[in-house]
Structure 1
Amino acid sequence: MRNWQDVTAQFMLDLLENGQIAANQLIDVREEFEWDYYHLETSVLIPMNTIPNRLNELMDTKPIYIVCAHGVRSAAVCEYLEKQGYSSLHNVTGGMAAIASLQGFQYD
């Protein structure tokens, strides 16, 4: 049974707007070229394949929100981090595509 949660892009954006998510709590697991195209200024880029070597950059004292392009890679990262003992993990469903559509940005 998984312990991490799916959250909508709108829910995560509302938390950001209200100052309830710090920059080190929003992890973007896309590749750098995807990040360069469009990203949230408050997020930290840690591409999915680098996560195992960068666990020391993830705090487990506050909720962590994981985002990718559409929500598939971020779900896999949540599963991996849970197996590493992390808790309070949140997968942003729809990923940056959903975030971009809410913000009026065309993202492919």
Structure 2
Amino acid sequence: MQWIWILLGAIIVYSVTMYFMQRRMVKALTEEEFRVGYRKAQLIDVREADEYASGHILGARNIPLTQMRMRMKELRKDQPIYLYCQSGLRSGRAAQMLYRKGYRDLYHLKGGFKTWTGKVKKKA
């Protein structure tokens, strides 16, 4: 029974640590803040291809989180990277991956695509 409490404690400590590390790595932006800078940045949708096809922010490139390790070389380190996913969880993970590989100018949409009220493009 004691090992369950130790495991639960370890999970909580890990979760809290990752939360604060992520806040240091990537800046979460409101939709208004996101709109100010995303046109001058690399705008990346980290959702899967079918989610992207059903609707995405105009001008976004699709690099799913599941492909990020293989495709991060497509991103430039000398330009800001604006990330988003459906709710904000996957874009935070993508930012952590990028940060570990030397990318520093990272932002993500707080609340994700589901909160986006701007222009959306859908694949026909």
Q: TM-score, normalised by structure 2?
A: 0.71
Moved segments of 4+, more than 4 Å = none
Is 1:10 the counterpart of 2:32? The answer is yes
Which residue of 2 is the match for residue 48 of structure 1?
65
CA distance in 1, matches of 2:26, 2:118: 26
Ranges in structure 2 where 5+ consecutive residues have no aligned partner: 1-20
Taking the TM superposition and a 5 Å limit, the aligned residue runs for 1:1-108 are: 1=21, 2-16=24-38, 19=39, 21-22=40-41, 25-99=42-116, 102-103=117-118
Residue 65 of structure 1 aligns to a residue in which SS?
strand
Ranges in structure 1 where 5+ consecutive residues have no aligned partner: none
Query: Equivalent pairs: percent with the same residue?
Result: 32
CA contact (8 A) 2:84 2:109 kept: yes
Q: TM-score, normalised by structure 1?
A: 0.81
Which structure has more helix as a fraction of its residues?
2
RMSD: 1.8
CA contact (8 A) 2:44 2:63 kept: yes
